[in-house]
């Protein structure tokens, strides 16, 4: 699955911002997925208490125990994402013990559920968002959102170890495979470094 480019992220964010009066959840979900680089299972299991302090203020970083690896990691979010999360929590009246992201009880226009958004619902939303941005939904998944910021950070810094740490992966080789960094790219990069 492809990561999104910066321009594609901006386009989707713009489209979701246009809908925030009636559905601020999608903007908060999209921004949180991009910023945290969490797997779908970890993203969808976040509670309001995970992302807010004891006064209800959305934190700029918070710990997450990854389900796949069992490892803990700290994730950070931008001020724009914090604002989107805060708006969503306020709009839906989410309580500290509730899942951060949920679906509706009876579909569009009904109350928000106490159950977390399912992976199927999340995948459906991603396909909807990328289609609205005139991208082929077959090329994108929840891994695309996880991979997006990681790929942009790597592209800018070429620091695979930092990207590995941010993704919470165990090895640099796993991160290289995840980002589709080929041996040729690694060798080309090595040739540019003079010692």
The string of pLDDT tens digits covering residues 146-164 is 889 888 888 888 888 877 7
The residue among 160 and 80 whose pLDDT is bigger is 80
Identify the CA nearest to 71 among candidates 172, 145, 170.
170
Residues in CB range of 94: below 8 A, 6 or more apart: 48, 88, 100, 112
H or E element at residue 145: helix 142-157
User: Mean pLDDT, to the nearest integer, of 163-184?
Assistant: 71
Residue-range domains of the chain with CATH: 6-143 (1.10.443.10)
User: Mean pLDDT, to the nearest integer, of 162-189?
Assistant: 70
CB 68 within 8 A of CB 121: no
Q: Given a cut of 80, is residue 63 above it in pLDDT? A: yes
Q: pLDDT tens-digit profile of 14-32?
A: 999 998 888 899 999 999 9
Helix (H, G, I), strand (E, B) or coil at 181: coil
CB 16 within 8 A of CB 4: no
């Amino acid at each position: 699955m492809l990561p999104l480019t910066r321009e594609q992220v901006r386009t989707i964010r713009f489209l979701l911002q246009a809908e925030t009066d009636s559905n601020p959840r999608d903007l908060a979900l999209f921004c949180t997925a991009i910023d945290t680089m969490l797997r779908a299972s970890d993203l969808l299991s976040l509670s309001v208490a995970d992302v807010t302090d004891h006064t209800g203020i959305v934190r700029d970083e918070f710990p997450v125990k990854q389900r796949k690896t069992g490892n803990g990691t700290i994730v950070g979010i931008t001020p724009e994402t914090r604002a989107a999360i805060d708006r969503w929590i306020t709009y839906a009246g989410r309580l500290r013990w509730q899942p951060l992201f949920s679906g509706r009880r009876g579909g569009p226009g009904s109350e928000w559920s106490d159950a977390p958004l399912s992976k199927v619902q999340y995948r459906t939303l991603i396909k909807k968002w990328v289609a609205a941005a005139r991208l082929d939904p077959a090329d994108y998944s929840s891994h695309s959102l996880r991979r997006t910021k990681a790929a942009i950070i790597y592209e800018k810094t070429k620091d695979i170890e930092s990207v590995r740490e941010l993704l919470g992966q165990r090895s640099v080789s796993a991160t290289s495979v995840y980002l589709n960094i080929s041996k040729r790219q690694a060798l080309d990069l090595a040739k540019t470094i003079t010692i």
